[in-house]
Homo-oligomer: A and B are copies of this chain.
């Protein structure tokens, strides 16, 4: 009877890509499988980017070759920055990818060195030429941009989404890329998007930069999103802001949602152990999840 919420783990991409030391493919696979064992059914397991740009993702093919055949019923997908990445993902057996375009023109230029016109042309090419591939859109800087500031008007967002919708996109992932959102803004934006595009799937991707990871995630859930992204241990973001700028931690989010009666399909006790094991195994110190630092397990697991 409880409302189902899709928890979408993106740590193997957004978390691992921020680690300073290369994490071997077998270790990546081990962590990914620990998440699968906890009940995670939706996961961004890698990205197809140039290894010079993001060395951590150089093993995309290797990771995919192990996991895709082994878990054909799970929603495992990859991030692709361009048509070439989409082709590579298809060749590795992916049925679903996410492409990224920033709502902010200046951030899009800084992040992928493209104008909006160039990005949408590339997206159109992926959709045209990769038949059979499901393509979702990560809308970076939905809530604000590090160069342009926080966004108070939803009109530019709606026009941006319309452009993607008209190309055929039916899954929007609204990203608070640098952690500028507040709960009122998240509610407002999510409701506007759900009302404007009622036949799309809407997800959010929230960074915990200013401590609002969980409150913004809950705001999105209560405003009607279909899925919420997060990373095991709260990995992600900038390693130069200790404890502060990773994504919302999956295990913290699962504790909150499970406690409130939502059906995440994920066992908190198990994912807590997975997060603590990841923390023990990865020495980079970029963890922002809270529960991994809690020593006492009594008194709160239902």
Contacts and interface: CB of A to CB of B under 8 A. Distances in A.
Contacts of A212: 214, 252, 256
A294 interface: yes
Nearest to A244: B293
Given A182-B256, A214-B214, A261-B184, A208 B146 contact: no
Nearest to A187: B260
Nearest to A261: B184
Interface string A209-241: 111111100100000000000000000000011
Q: Interface residues of A toward B: which range?
A: 35 or more
B259 A182 contact: yes
Number of copies: 2
Interface in A122-147: 144-147
Interface in A78-135: none
- Would you list the 9 A-B pairs with minimal beta carbon distance, nearest first? A244-B293, A211-B290, A182-B259, A215-B215, A184-B260, A211-B252, A149-B299, A243-B243, A214-B215
Contacts of A185: 259
B293 A245 contact: yes
A292 B294 CA distance: 22
A180 interface: yes
A180 B300 contact: yes
Contact of A290 (B148, B244, B259, B289): B244
Interface of A: 144-150, 178, 180, 182-185, 208-215, 218, 240-245, 249, 252, 255-256, 259-261, 288-291, 293-296, 298-300, 302
A77 B183 CA distance: 32
A300 B149 contact: yes
Contacts of A215: 214-215, 218, 256
Nearest to A218: B215
Contact of A256 (B183, B241, B242): B183
